[in-house]
Structure 1
Amino acid sequence: MDTIVIGGGQSGLAAAHCLSAAGLRPVILEAGERPTGSWAGYYDSLTLFSPARHSALGGQEFPGDPDHYPGRDEVVDHLQRYADRLDVEIRTRTRVSAVEGDGAGGFLVHTADGGTLRTMGVVAASGSFGNPYLPEFPGQETFAGQVLHVAGYRNPKHYTGRRVVIVGGGNSAVQVGHELAEVATVTLATRHPVAFMPQFIGGKDVHHWHTTTGFDDLPPHWLARITARAGGGTLVLDTGDYAAALADGRMDRRPVFTAFDGDRIVWSDGEREHVDTVIFATGYRPDLGYLRPLGALSEDGTPLHDGGISTTHLGLGYVGVEFQRSFASNTLRGVHRDAQHVTAPIAAYAGGALAGYGL
């Protein structure tokens, strides 16, 4: 095989499209049952934070009203249609367990079913949903209540009348908190005050300005400085409903607690409070453990790369890493640009460009 794409979600599909357009014959290896990535695993009420007109994937427009905000299942269907259009081989239920060098400039891709595939190029596009970040607090292992990551949350029906604390101040934390506040007593526990960004500016969705002003293309190190200006917190898109819910007390916000204690948590001011459920909306880390045998990751498991192009191995690239090249990286509207950037060097290497030079 000239190239293998690991992961069949939005990133893997975009990568396969670009590799195919470059003349290669990529094979997608997807661990799940469908080439739709992690979307089917998100909570039931999830809606995109960008309208349909700004959520297309690689030339396939999102169906329906271009100004509506697609739900989880609409995204799954969108990705399935995209996969059906691709003229590439997609192997579902095929989980990659390890990638090693083959000693001749290529790679050996080992799968969980005991198979081994040889290839000259690899695109790691497995995203991060399979590796949720769950911080540890003192007393957490003996907490009498429920602890889960937001990746395991589905809907509010099991939380009626409960005391719920959500750790995190990003879009998912606030969206889930707002939903649960209809049936439970909810507190957002955050390290910084929640920073809201208006969903509409000048009568247009903020994603219109992201794409027309060039904000989507700002490099990660610039974005870090912009975030610092905003107080260090994550910017949460809001039509006004979320800020109003905090203002009128339907949910509240407190600094992150310091420990668990039996069936209680210990707030930063020393107060101990009974809590039924703690939901960590603390993000994800790249799900790339299969690259450890290759030596392509840092000690904390993040890929060693420059804009998605491996700095450790020729022929290895990444698509779907958060802030890989810009603010739009790892989004439906931006992942295709990252895939195009990574494709050129991988296509040259896997296509035998070095052979003509005797290398």
Structure 2
Amino acid sequence: MSKFVLVIGAGQAGLATGYHLRKAGLPFQIVDAAGRVSDSWRNRYASLTLFTPRQFSALPGLLHTGNRELYPSRDEFADYLQSYVAHFDLPIRLDSRIVRLVKEATGGFEAQLQNGERIRATHVVIATGAFQKPIIPSTASQFAPDVVQFTGDSYRDPSQVPAGPVLVVGDGATGRDIAAELSAGHTTFLSVGKPRKLFPERILGKSAWWWLHWSGLMQAPKESRLGRYMQKADPFPDRDRNLDSLARNGVRIMPRLMSAAGSIAQFSDGSATEVVSVVWAVGFRDDSSWVEIAGAGGSNGSFVHTEGVSEIPNLFFVGRPWQRNRASALIMGAGPDAAAIVKRIVCLVTAPWP
């Protein structure tokens, strides 16, 4: 079989992979289920801005325009991804959802599209990202049917949310953003879990990301002592989103949600409140059900890999959180992680095919 790389997913991870495959001179195609590049970004909540400023929110070979110290919006970054495809003329097939990936007896792969078509490849890079299916706790079923429920995936803006008290569950960056904007027009409760570590947005006039990048902290290996500490702490920048600031702006901070009964939310300290809507912002999980290859996925549905390399020969990943380091979950990590994976593929294609 002629060497051919199939890249699944046309987000930042897939495009960075395409960039490096093009540089390496390998034949490849990027396939995505969406109708246009960057729809996964445009379909998120409207007020979303990236974690990192423009100087750290670019893919290899193409810088962002605009103030490098400021944060790109959701739509700006989506436009950037579209311009990236055009700039490098990357081969992308859209409206092409892959519903089944299998390993062939010859050692290659066959991907089946939703329309029944099949694509064969010698190497596959799964770059679908870590935001596949929103996690909805079992507590959701305890609310009455007339309590309107959203996820971090289905929530777009406050106009969707009916009048009355709203509970946001989950105090990561998404939950805090949503609670902050809802508080302008709704009585808003934010249910928090474990204590979160936030770092200052700027240090000595420089973005905290500048310090983290140039100090080498963002590149600390996953299994290093520093890497393990950063995984446990999981800090994110404080852009006026600490709990004290949220409280000053009207968000009512509540402890962990324990249960619900009808329209009543009950918390770990024994308190309770009535709500008319709930936004679940407790994270996402993988969907590996379409990869029908034994050993590719774990029992919990997550993908199994070591620094993006599967135990399945010629199967790889880019865009996994902590794939190699903290940067892996961010735009700044897509290029280096893709480069490392493509380097491995280049080494493999020089070997005889079975």
Q: TM-score band (shorter)?
A: over 0.9
C-alpha contact (below 8 Å) 2:247/2:253 kept by paired residues: no
Are 2:207 and 1:179 aligned? no
Distance 2:63 2:287 in 1: 28
> Which stretch shifts more, 17-26 or 219-228?
219-228
Are 2:167 and 1:165 aligned? yes
* 3-state SS in 2 of match to 1:339: helix
- Amino acid in the other structure paired with 1:354: P
Are 2:60 and 1:58 aligned? yes
Q: Within 5 Å, which residues of 2 pair with 1:238-317?
A: 238-240=238-240, 242-248=242-248, 250-311=250-311, 313-317=312-316
Aligned length: 350
Q: Within 5 Å, which residues of 2 pair with 1:107-186?
A: 107-137=109-139, 139-140=141-142, 142-159=144-161, 161-186=163-188
Q: Which residue of 2 aligns with 1:195?
A: 197
TM-aligned CA deviation for residue 74 of structure 1: 0.4
Cα distance per residue 1:240-277 (max 9 Å; x no partner) = 46444334261132221111101111222333321111
**Counterpart selection for 1:102 from 101, 104, 126:** 104
Cα distance per residue 1:263-309 (max 9 Å; x no partner) = 11122233332111111111112343321345411111111111001
* 3-state SS in 2 of match to 1:220: coil
Distance 1:266 1:244 in 2: 22
C-alpha contact (below 8 Å) 1:143/1:264 kept by paired residues: no
C-alpha contact (below 8 Å) 2:222/2:228 kept by paired residues: yes
RMSD: 2.0
C-alpha contact (below 8 Å) 1:7/1:28 kept by paired residues: yes
Q: Within 5 Å, which residues of 2 pair with 1:309-348?
A: 309-311=309-311, 313-348=312-347
TM-aligned CA deviation for residue 201 of structure 1: 1.1
Are 2:87 and 1:85 aligned? yes
TM-score norm. by structure 1 comes to 0.91
TM-aligned CA deviation for residue 226 of structure 1: 3.6
> Which stretch shifts more, 240-249 or 30-39?
240-249
Q: 1:48 to 1:88 in 2, by over 3 A?
A: closer
Distance 1:188 1:165 in 2: 6
C-alpha contact (below 8 Å) 1:162/1:184 kept by paired residues: yes
* 3-state SS in 2 of match to 1:53: helix
* 3-state SS in 2 of match to 1:290: coil
* 3-state SS in 2 of match to 1:216: helix
Distance 1:143 1:218 in 2: 47
C-alpha contact (below 8 Å) 1:129/1:287 kept by paired residues: no
> Which stretch shifts more, 86-95 or 71-80?
86-95
C-alpha contact (below 8 Å) 1:200/1:239 kept by paired residues: no
Q: Which residue of 2 aligns with 1:49?
A: 51
Distance 2:239 2:141 in 1: 38
Q: 1:23 to 1:138 in 2, by over 3 A?
A: closer
- Amino acid in the other structure paired with 2:315: L
TM-aligned CA deviation for residue 141 of structure 1: 6.1
Q: Which residue of 1 aligns with 2:208?
A: 206
Give 4+ residue runs of structure 1 displaced > 4 Å after superposition: 241-244
> Which stretch shifts more, 274-283 or 284-293?
284-293
C-alpha contact (below 8 Å) 1:98/1:293 kept by paired residues: no
In percent, how many aligned pairs have the same letter? Answer: 31
* 3-state SS in 2 of match to 1:172: helix
- Amino acid in the other structure paired with 2:137: P
C-alpha contact (below 8 Å) 1:192/1:255 kept by paired residues: no
* 3-state SS in 1 of match to 2:66: coil
- Amino acid in the other structure paired with 2:88: L
Q: Which residue of 2 aligns with 1:225?
A: 229
- Amino acid in the other structure paired with 1:181: S
* 3-state SS in 1 of match to 2:342: helix
TM-aligned CA deviation for residue 37 of structure 1: 5.0
C-alpha contact (below 8 Å) 2:170/2:190 kept by paired residues: yes
Distance 1:52 1:138 in 2: 37
* 3-state SS in 1 of match to 2:80: helix
* 3-state SS in 2 of match to 1:279: strand
* 3-state SS in 1 of match to 2:329: coil
* 3-state SS in 2 of match to 1:292: coil
> Which stretch shifts more, 237-246 or 6-15?
237-246
C-alpha contact (below 8 Å) 2:162/2:276 kept by paired residues: no
**Counterpart selection for 2:351 from 339, 350, 353:** 353
